[in-house]
Structure 1
Amino acid sequence: MIRARPAVGGRVAEPPTLDPVPIDAQVRSTRTGLVPLLVVGTAIAALLAAGLAAVTGGDTSGLLVVRVVTESAAVVTIGSLLLAAFLVPPQQNGTLAADGYAALRTAGWAALVWTLGAVASVPFTAADALGQPVKALLDPSVLFTVAGILEQTKAWMVTAVIVALLALGCRLALSWGWTTALFFLSVFALVPVAVTGHSSGGGSHDMATNSLLYHLIGAALWVGGLIALLAHGRRGGEHLGLATTRFSRLALVCWIVMAFSGVVNAWVRLPLSQLFTSDYGLFVLGKTFALVALGVFGWFQREKSVKQVVATGSGRSLLRLAGVEVLLMFLTIGLAAALSRTPPPAEGRAFPSTVELRIGYDLFGAPSVTRLLFDWRFDLIFGTAAIALAVVYVLGVLRLRRRGDKWPVGRTVAWLAGCFTVLFATSSGLGRYAPAMFSIHMESHMLLSMLAPILLVLGGPVTLALRALPTAGKDNPPGAREWILAFVHSPVTKVLTNPFVALALFVGSFYGLYFSGLFDWALDFHWAHLAMNAHFILVGYVFYWPVIGIDPAPNRLPPLGRLGLLFASIPFHAFFGIVLMSSQTVIGENFYRALALPWVTSQLDDQRLGGGIAWAAGEVPLIVVMVALLVQWARSDDRDARRTDRKADSDGDADLAAYNAMLRKLSERE
């Protein structure tokens, strides 16, 4: 059994123990106190979902029960890892404290249930899609054949693999760093099923899928975080006031995200005239009412609980008030499960065109300069992220100025320009036409992988965050500033910013994506477009960070090394464009041919145009990088000169005197 106490005198820590009660006893006590609440809540949610499905004539099989149990286990897993990673502090040596370790063990058991639920969802989902009884699909050969065809069953299989690794990691991890990685993995495990449900098909599926991702992640953090907080209070854990305060802030953000994303998802799926006349609309109204009630009730009870917990250090008030909120949350889960089993009404909505079915929306003409600049369709993922990053950066700059510190205007301009580049590449007419035309896609690709990362790294966001955020102080729990430092110095960051790794990722992405068949396969899925855009931005940022980044990189290069790394990438990039321009094979031919855009008369000519754009687009970023390198080089020389002058003033120019003495001795010998 793993146990640990804080390190003393630099000795290596053992696994956690909380005196006088052993950690295993704490975990058992937590399970004993929370299991009845979780069982009752899950049972209510399952019965409500099954009852609503029966009333509306839907399937009353075990699929709904499996879905409710699986989703309940998922939120418990995510919430427990959230508590262990960010709500309670680790020990000073980076090992989890007893409270974090107890939450990690709870997450491991919940992840095991999540895994079993994901595995069980495969035959239930396949049987439901085919209209067959589950027992007809229990033959492994039949099940795997059917499951390999349906996107939803493939998503459940992927989820089962991810969550099985997550459950194993929860049994093996002990450090705060690995716990944080497991938390982000648990959030990612929600994605496969979310992007293959009702929202991923039909018209406006881009908006629906993006809003659903926000909705699910917000709900999981809110519900799971509250359950984990209750477990923490039930076992009498330390830092309860800190954990409650941090979760209260997060819960408010989650509620806002859920409310906004829920409205967007319902708006693109349901005509307003059918809000009160269809089963789908009634479920939306019920879930909306439950969400509003949860937000209002949860806010007031948490405000009261936070004050009492901080004042008394006791978790009794938290347990008494938050228990009701958890039951309301399970009712919401039941409504959500019933909603997921009810397709949106088709009446009153025009059948989407082929283009809308493929990319989520219609295009109304050839891409002119006016359309590319002004025909916007806001991207909920990258557009929202760009705006949020710009706002947070400006708030950090304002905090420095209120404190009397200066921040270079050029860095602010570079960061805001980078955020606008991301917004323009994904939400303007350029982003609107990019999924449908290879040439426009290549323009967006170049902006996201080359121009936006250059501007973002020149903004120095890590340096700004470290200067604007307060330090935790000695013997205080680590906060956001310490988390950022831990990320910058993590082994993952060191590996990614290694010059050879960064170069391989940056130039290899062009060839690996477009010449391996991966791009052809990804064109049919909206989530794959999201993944490509995220990959372009992150890989570009990782490459340009050690080259021209303001923030200190784990692998800092000298000026000549930066210049060499930059010039090493140029031939690969130019050759990629030349290959595209000279190729006789159309990449993504089946997808583009199915769109049948009347203004694209030749897919091969459009691809060659995209190759020309890729070849020529590298010139502008190269100029920006060269100017930035020269400016940084000159400033580095100026700093060295000023440092030398200060040293000479302090020691009476001792180095110059010693040099002159050496010359005199040499002259005398001659």
Structure 2
Amino acid sequence: MSETVRTQPLDGPADGSAAPVEPVRARWTVSVTTLAMALVAVCLAIGLAATVSPRVLIPGLPDAGRLVEYATPGVKALFDLTAALTVGWLLAAVVLVPPREQGRLDVGGYRAVRAASLAAWVWAAAALALVPLTYADTYGGSLVDALSADTVIQGVSVSDAIRGYLIAAVLAALVAVLARVVLRRPWAGALLVMALIGVLPQAVGGHAAQSGDHDVAVDTMIYHLVGVSAWVGGLVALLGLVRQRVAHLDVIARRYSAMALVAFVVVALSGLINAWVRLAAVNDLWLTDYGRLVLAKAALLITLGLLGWRHRARTLRTLGDGSDRRPFLRLAVVEVLIMAATLGVAAALARTASPPTSAAVPSDIELLLGFDISGPPTVGRLLLDWRIDWILGPAVVAAAVLYLVGVRRLRRRGDDWSRGRTAAWLGGCAMVLVATSSGLGRYAEAQFSIHMIAHMVLGMMAPILLVLGGPTTLALRVLPAARRGEVSGLREAIVAGVHSPVTRFLTHPLIVFALFIGSFFAVYFTPLFDAMIGSHLGHLIMNVHFLAVGYLYYWVIIGVDPTPRRLQPLVKLGLLLGALPFHAFFGLALMNSHTAMAAGYYTGLVPWNTDLVSDQRLGGAIAWGATEIPIIIVVIALLAQWAKSDEREAARSDRTTTRGAADDELDAYNAMLAGLAERQRVRQPDAVPPGDGR
């Protein structure tokens, strides 16, 4: 972006020393490349959309016109590109560019954040433009009619895609504004999280929301969107940082290389699974427009993979040793243009009619949930009827494996690690896996009482075991520390994150208490529950929210990892006991309810759940009674930690007292010697002092 190249010559050293300045045309290389990417993506999306069958073909709807037909994929391509650029520039500031002391952004990080602000403004504008365009394209009518406020409100209420574009517009605008004042890496990380949240709602639009298995399609699309954003946006950010000759280019290149390899694998696998879910037969790949676009996108991805391999093998090595950077720049420009073409194909693919499904007609439950349910919940079905949650499932499996790898490294070098902590961590991961991927997770999307069981496991049981596992402490002991003069690494980033202002704010007793208690009432006693329960992404957001808030709450109370705040045991006990009446009131309110929540979603969803109010009251009883076991575990852990703390304090006091007594004895002995010397001097006044020359 042009904002990133105004403060100094692009080829000038980052320390401001004298260096030859290239002609003026080189100042705009990154900006011109970005504009070329936008032009390629938009033109290719429009051209392909004009030659393939549209995704929505509903008889009786009025024609939206050629303007809407061609502008929608073009603006969608611009939306995808600028979203990727925003995420990529923020990733550069948070992950790629090493910060200065105390987490302050380096010159390269500061410029990356400013470039993210510019990209976010275009992203927000494209998202706003897609709101009326999508409404007109989906429901028919002219673009002028779709611009009215009533039409926009109606579209937001009935369409996940339109709602996602509006959310993205709001978040992109916030990122654009806040990025102008961010100077520290933790706050840049908060903006990165905000940008990623703005990307996620797009996973429920397009083909991901159609027919069966759309839960798998949504999960894989989330991987796809995040991977593309990191890969495409990260390469553009790397290109800009190289043109500016910022410091530590060798470190930046190595970090991007590792990130790009992971992103390529994620994008390839998620795209393959997502296309397989949509295709009814293999020959659909060459017999349908959708399949041919999938093949074209796959060919572009393979080309990008080969170019990435060439980068890793040759050009990235030259960035840190002062060699000629022109081979990297030329190859990177070609690569980002191919990436832009891939985004254009993807935008056209999202609007292309998918192949007809197989002859098997999916049930109403399968159309709504993405999968079928065999019958009423039983203990066997809840435990054995598994369907993997492709977001939290792989996440907790990877967390368990990494934890075991860390423990093994500690023990191989002779250090010990508590078996109890290992068991607690693995038990917490197993609970998350069961709550989201077993029959419990399957039935939680269809019945409120089962949903409440999963909520209690994710929000109250699993976090207790996870915080007792001490993952941060294990990571700090395993990861190597940067030596003096070296660039800070992952260990220093973890330490900075733990003690960052964001973490310090979230771990304030009043804040964490309000988050933990307020979540129950904000989710279930507001329209928020009705809005989220009807989509797979909403279920995923609730699961992640309950798990994260529960972890934060119990980390402050009984966590073995270091926290930015040292709380007294009585304060921790107050946080624990203070939540009991609020939690009891929440459960009793559900038990005494007379109106079913999300009745439009649950009514007729499963044939055995006919009395929604009774099932909701059962969920309230589960919430009311589920606090006993967690409270007992937490109280025992808190008292044990309190006792150990007292023992350590007593031992420290004993050492201080012993040291003080020894010092007193030494002082008394020295005083005695000084007294004897003084008496001897008095008795022999004429004695010749030692060393006297007489």
TM-score (structure 2 length as normaliser): 0.87
2:45 maps to a residue whose letter is A
Is 1:82–1:225's contact at 8 Å kept on the other side of the alignment? yes
Report the equivalent of 1:276. 286
State which of 640, 657, 661 in structure 1 corresponds to 2:649. 640
Q: d(CA) in 2 for partners of 1:363 and 1:140?
A: 40
Cα distance in 1 for partners of 2:148, 2:627 equals 54
**CA distance in 2 between partners of 1:89 and 1:498 (Å):** 28
Question: In the alignment, what sits opposite 2:58?
Answer: none
Please tell me whether the aligned partners of residues 18 and 98 of structure 1 are also in contact (alpha carbons under 8 angstroms). Answer: no
Indicate the residue corresponding to 2:590 in structure 1: 580
Pair 1:112 & 2:126 matched: no
Instruction: State the match for 1:13 in structure 2.
Output: none
Going from structure 1 to structure 2, the CA distance change for 1:140 and 1:605 (only over 3 Å counts) comes to closer
Matched, 1:626 2:635: yes
3-state secondary structure, aligned to 1:171: coil
- Residues 53 and 289, structure 2, Cα contact 8 Å, conserved in 1: no
In the alignment, structure 1 residue 37 sits paired with structure 2 residue 33: yes
How do 1:329-344 and structure 2 match up within 5 A?
Answer: 329-344=339-354
**CA 1:516–1:502 in 2, change beyond 3 Å: closer, same or farther?**
same
CA distance in 1, matches of 2:663, 2:582: 50
* C-alpha deviation, 1:52, in angstroms: 2.3
Cα offset for 1:300? Answer: 3.0
Residues 595-651 of structure 1: CA deviation (Å, up to 9, x unaligned): 1x2222422222222222212211111221122123222322332343344445544
- Indicate if the aligned counterparts of 2:532 and 2:538 stay in contact, CA closer than 8 A: yes
Moved more, 631-640 or 459-468: 631-640
Of 494-503 and 245-254, deviating more is 494-503
Residues 481 and 314 of structure 1: CA distance in aligned 2, closer, same or farther (over 3 Å): farther
Answer with 75-84 or 432-441: which moved more. 75-84
2:166, 2:266 → 1: CA distance? 28
Structure 1 residues 581, 32: CA separation in 2 closer, same or farther (over 3 Å shift)?
A: same
Equivalent position amino acid for 2:42 in 1: A
| Contact 2:136-2:142 at 8 Å conserved across structures | yes
What pairs up with 1:92-171 in 2 under 5 angstroms?
A: 92-138=101-147, 146=155, 149-171=158-180
Distance 1:589 1:635 in 2: 51
Residue in 2 that maps onto 1:369: 379
Cα displacement (A) at 1:149: 4.4
Aligned counterparts of 1:93 and 1:565: Cα–Cα separation in 2 = 31
> How big is the alpha-carbon RMSD for the aligned residues of Structure 1 and Structure 2?
2.9
Deviations 1:123-143 (A, max 9, x none): 222221133343454456655
For residues 108-137 of structure 1, the C-alpha deviation after alignment (integer angstroms, 9 at most, x for no partner) is 222222222222222222221133343454
Q: Is contact 2:459–2:547 with CA below 8 Å preserved after alignment?
A: yes
Letter in 2 for 1:220: S
Residue 538 (structure 1) aligned to one of 548, 563, 567: 548
- The aligned residue for residue 182 of structure 1 is 191
- Whole-angstrom CA distance in 2 between matches of 1:405 and 1:308: 39
Runs (5+) with no aligned partner, structure 2: 8-12, 55-65, 668-694
Residues 655 and 154 (structure 1), Cα distance of their counterparts in 2 relative to 1, 3 Å cut = farther
Equivalent of residue 498 in structure 1, options 505, 508, 527: 508
Contact map agreement 1:87 1:246 (CA 8 A) in 2: yes
Aligned 8 A contact 2:466 2:551 in 1: yes
In structure 2, the partner of 1:55 is 51
- For 1:156-305, list aligned pairs within 5 A: 156-273=165-282, 274-305=284-315
Q: Is the 8 A contact 1:46 1:68 kept in 2?
A: yes
Q: CA deviation at 1:459?
A: 0.8
> How far off its partner does 1:162 sit?
1.4
Q: Return the offset for 1:536.
A: 0.7
Residue aligning to 1:353: 363
Question: How far apart are 1:515 and its partner, in Å?
Answer: 2.3
* Alpha-carbon offset, residue 320 of structure 1: 2.5
Paired position in structure 2 for 1:662:
none
Structure 2 distance, partners of 1:237, 1:313, is 15
* Shift in Å, 1:179: 2.2
How much does 1:251 deviate?
0.6
Mean Cα displacement is larger for which, 342-351 or 427-436? 342-351
Q: Which amino acid aligns with 1:79?
A: G
Kept in 1, the 8 Å contact 2:460–2:550? The answer is: yes
1:653: Cα distance to partner? 6.2
Shift of 1:87: 1.1
Distance 2:488 2:415 in 1: 24
Using the TM superposition, give the Cα deviation of residue 362 of structure 1 relative to its aligned residue in structure 2, in angstroms. Answer: 1.0
Structure-2 change in CA distance of 1:137 and 1:578 (3 Å): closer
The Cα shift of 1:428 comes to 0.4
SS of match in other structure, 2:101? coil
- Distance change (3 Å), C-alpha of 1:509 and 1:142: closer
Residue 140 and residue 453 in structure 1: after superposition, are their counterparts in 2 closer, same or farther (change >3 A)? closer
Deviation at 1:253, TM superposition (A): 0.8
Q: CA deviation at 1:144?
A: 5.4
Q: How many residues align?
A: 645
Out of 438, 441, 462, the position equivalent to 1:431 is 441
* Equivalent residue number for residue 413 of structure 2: 403
For each residue in 1:30-56, what CA deviation from the matched residue of structure 2 results, as whole angstroms up to 9, or x when unmatched? 761123333333333333322322222
Moved more, 355-364 or 122-131: 122-131
- Structure 2 Cα separation of the partners of residues 95 and 531 of structure 1: 31
Using a 3 Å threshold, how does the CA distance of structure 1 residues 246 and 314 change in structure 2: closer, same or farther?
Answer: farther
- Correspondence 1:482 to 2:492: yes
- Are positions 1:19 and 2:16 aligned together? yes
Is the partner of 1:532 in helix, strand or coil?
Answer: helix
| AA aligned opposite 2:187 | W
> Which ranges in structure 1 are unaligned for 5 or more consecutive residues?
6-15, 659-670
Q: 1:335 to 1:511 in 2, by over 3 A?
A: same
> What is the letter of the counterpart of residue 624 of structure 1?
I
Distance in 2, Cα, partners of 1:575 & 1:138: 45
Percent identity between the two aligned chains: 46
Q: Is the 8 A contact 1:126 1:147 kept in 2?
A: no
Equivalent position amino acid for 2:542 in 1: M
Are the aligned partners of 1:85 and 1:180 in contact in 2 as well (CA < 8 Å)?
Answer: yes
For residues 36 and 560 of structure 1, the distance between their equivalents in structure 2, rounded to whole angstroms, comes to: 61
Work out whether 1:67 is the aligned partner of 2:72. Answer: no
Distance 1:174 1:18 in 2: 18
Residue of structure 2 aligned with 1:83, choices 76, 88, 92:
92
Q: Is the 8 A contact 1:241 1:313 kept in 2?
A: no
Distance 1:646 1:176, change over 3 A: same
CA contact (8 A) 1:271 1:349 kept: no
Query: In structure 2, what residue type is equivalent to 1:329?
Result: M
1:506-559: CA deviations, max 9, x gaps?
222222322224323322122211111111111111111121100122232222
CA offsets 1:246-277 (integer angstroms, 9 cap, x no match): 00000111111112211221222222342332
Counterpart secondary structure, 2:567: coil
Match of 2:683 in 1: none
Contact 2:121 2:176 in 1 (8 A): yes
- The verdict on how the C-alpha distance between 1:598 and 1:130 changes in structure 2, with shifts beyond 3 A counting, is closer
CA distance in 2, matches of 1:252, 1:593: 46
Secondary structure of the residue that 1:275 maps to in structure 2?
Answer: helix
Q: Is the 8 A contact 1:355 1:361 kept in 2?
A: yes
What SS does the aligned partner of 1:520 have? helix
1:52 and 1:478, CA in 2 relative to 1: closer, same or farther beyond 3 A? same
Between stretches 369-378 and 500-509, larger displacement belongs to: 500-509
Partner Cα separation in structure 2 for residue 376 and residue 363 of structure 1:
11
Q: Which residue does 1:12 correspond to in 2?
A: none
- Once the two structures are TM-superposed, the CA of residue 352 in structure 1 deviates from its matched residue by 2.6
Question: What amino acid does structure 2 have at the position aligned with 1:608?
Answer: R
Instruction: State the structure with more CA Rg.
Output: 2
Worse overlay, 199-208 or 246-255: 199-208
